[in-house]
Amino acid sequence: MKRLALGRGGRPLRIGYGRIFHEANTFSPLPTEREAFTEFHHVEGEALAKAATLRGSEIVGYMPHAEMTGFVQACRLAGDVETVPLASSLAVPGGPLTREVFDWLVDNLVDKIRAAGPMDGIYLALHGSMEVLGEDEAPEAVILRRVREALGEGPRIAVSYDLHANLSAGLVDPVDVLIGYRTNPHWDLAPTGFRAGNRLVRTLRGQCRPVHAFRKLPVVLGGGTTIDFMKPMRAVFRAMKALEKDPRVLSASLFMVHPYTSAPDLGWAVHVSTDGDLALADDLADQLADRAFAVRKVPLPPMFTIDEALDEVRGDMARKLGPVTLIDVDDIVGTGAPGGNTRFIQALAKDDRGLLSYVTLHDPRLVDELWDAKIDAVHPVTFRGTPGYEQPPVEVEATLVKKTTTDFGRTLRLDFGGTRVIVAERPPLPIHPKFFKAVDLPVRTADLIVQKNFFHYRLFYATTSFRHLPVVSDGASSLTRVRERKYAVPTWPGQDPESWRRYDPILRGLTKREPARVAEHREVLS
């Protein structure tokens, strides 16, 4: 009798698991190609099963234990579940995927599902803010439809999304279990997979019957820094956790979107799943939407222009204790921007204020031009940044001090005045001081370092850099572009919609991206 209760029809449950994960920045001129996955994270079958253990490393160089590991642990704990590793693919944020790479990813996952034979369910870790060139539907909706076709009608589907997902009916309706990250920045990938696995197993055993309600809010920025443990979001995240303590509630999630996509239905969303009680799910979703909407007007910390920031650093004696960090808010490589912004270099070339400054630049053309040039010699140099990024060219006479190969491809160090520019073939992310060490630049002696990242670098600079200034320039993660792009309904912060209730049904109705509207958006975006 016990085995009947644990497994299904006297046999263990069989559940597949996999991942297709990418966060797109529509303003980046660099499309995401296949190598972005194969060179970073693309693991299948037995190799995936091995990676998704407590001893394994699930996403090498990124996170040892993520959703797949959490999911497998939940199944182990539940007992009598056979987990079937399918395929897991993840690339760092970048421009939209090409059609070719998207088809390759989905075809591969579908092939693995068909080859796996009959399964009771499947768990997929998806992002929710993918974008594919020429695809007018949310890519995750396409993935779920293809997966459903391959599985047939019977098996149940559990999905987890990044907290920055843009929820829509195509992402909600096909799934039985829906879980979102609940920390920002995201450290809870493994717990997310665990929660998804736990709900899926319980659903398959008939121990719960998930029903869903979700609401869309006409908000794309707001809630201050949106960090889950800081004001004002702390209270919202606490409320969600409290909701999940109610045995009638299976999950409660808030999705705060990746604001740099061209989705016409872009907007925050809340999602509540209950055990068979749709009226309760509706009611709690409304309450949660009210809470989230109420904090939309809490602003981000004030930001500096480049010249203001350089003046600030010059006047700040604290820089003697360690470099001041200038966060290049408009060119954040971690949000898919290419890191090819030349505007800091432009300002420093004009007036470096006697500061020792470290700046990184994605400029593959310059790497090509100078790779064979003489070391320790002065060369006429034009910094142009990422091809197609429309950055101002900056001409200087610079000394080529070093040529080396890093995680970001061929890399050069060019010095002029007090400025040290590290030019890389691929979008550079100087999160760790070793990035600068590779070009013989100790971080402690710098007056300032330009970072292309909001949070993670702070872990590695905790004892080095004590002041962090957000700086506005112009690039793919520009919040001005987010504010000023076109939306289907009045959307905060460009406009104040005053109520979310009026626009929720309209946003939820925009399941297909109308080609005309998408073209219109792209025009505004470009």
The residues that touch Zn ion, with contacts defined as CB under 5 A, are 162, 164
CA angle 327–253–303, rounded 5-degree value: 20
Q: How far apart are CA 305 and CA 293, in angstroms?
A: 29
Q: How far is the CB of 185 from Zn ion (least distance, A)?
A: 8
Nearer to Zn ion, 162 or 504 (CB): 162
Nearer to Zn ion, 164 or 216 (CB): 164
Closest CA to 30 of 371, 389, 317: 389
| Residues pairing with 85 in the sheet | 17
Q: How far is the CB of 211 from Zn ion (least distance, A)?
A: 26
Nearer to Zn ion, 162 or 228 (CB): 162
Q: How far is the CB of 260 from Zn ion (least distance, A)?
A: 12
Residue nearest to Zn ion (CB): 164
Nearer to Zn ion, 164 or 521 (CB): 164
Q: DSSP class of residue 193?
A: H
Q: How far is the CB of 257 from Zn ion (least distance, A)?
A: 9
Q: How far is the CB of 327 from Zn ion (least distance, A)?
A: 17
Q: How far is the CB of 476 from Zn ion (least distance, A)?
A: 16
What string of H, E and C letters represents the secondary structure of 125-191? Answer: EECCCCCECCCCECHHHHHHHHHHHHHCCCCEEEEEECCCCCCCHHHHCCCCEEEECCCCCCCCHHH
User: Are 194 and 73 in contact, with CB atoms under 8 Å apart?
Assistant: yes
Nearer to Zn ion, 59 or 151 (CB): 59
User: Are 177 and 203 in contact, with CB atoms under 8 Å apart?
Assistant: yes
Residue with tokens 């520009």: 478
Q: How far apart are CA 164 and CA 494, in angstroms?
A: 19
Q: How far is the CB of 42 from Zn ion (least distance, A)?
A: 20
Nearer to Zn ion, 355 or 479 (CB): 479
138 φ, ψ to 5°?
-60, 125
For residue 416, count other CB atoms closer than 10 A to its CB: 18
User: Are 20 and 142 in contact, with CB atoms under 8 Å apart?
Assistant: no
Peptide bond preceding 323: is omega within 30 degrees of 0, i.e. cis?
A: no
Nearer to Zn ion, 108 or 183 (CB): 183
Q: How far is the CB of 186 from Zn ion (least distance, A)?
A: 6
Q: How far is the CB of 36 from Zn ion (least distance, A)?
A: 17
Nearer to Zn ion, 164 or 215 (CB): 164
Helix or strand (DSSP H, E) at 517: helix 515-525
User: Are 310 and 235 in contact, with CB atoms under 8 Å apart?
Assistant: no
Q: How far apart are CA 202 and CA 206, in angstroms?
A: 6
Q: How far is CA 279 from the centre of its chain?
A: 33
Q: How far is the CB of 181 from Zn ion (least distance, A)?
A: 7
User: Are 173 and 140 in contact, with CB atoms under 8 Å apart?
Assistant: no
Nearer to Zn ion, 164 or 212 (CB): 164
274 φ, ψ to 5°?
-125, 170
Q: How far apart are CA 123 and CA 42, in angstroms?
A: 17
- Tokens of residue 510, six digits: 């925009």
User: Are 325 and 453 in contact, with CB atoms under 8 Å apart?
Assistant: no
Q: How far is the CB of 335 from Zn ion (least distance, A)?
A: 9
Q: How far is the CB of 131 from Zn ion (least distance, A)?
A: 14
Counting Cβ atoms within 10 Å, is residue 39 exposed (0-12), middle (13-18) or buried (19+)? exposed
Nearer to Zn ion, 226 or 391 (CB): 226
CA angle 80–86–87, rounded 5-degree value: 145
Nearer to Zn ion, 164 or 513 (CB): 164
Q: For helices 343-350 and 306-314, give the axis angle rounded to 10 degrees.
A: 50
Q: How far is the CB of 90 from Zn ion (least distance, A)?
A: 12
One-letter amino acid for residue 88 of the chain: S
Residue with tokens 């004001």: 231
Nearer to Zn ion, 256 or 327 (CB): 256
Nearer to Zn ion, 161 or 500 (CB): 161
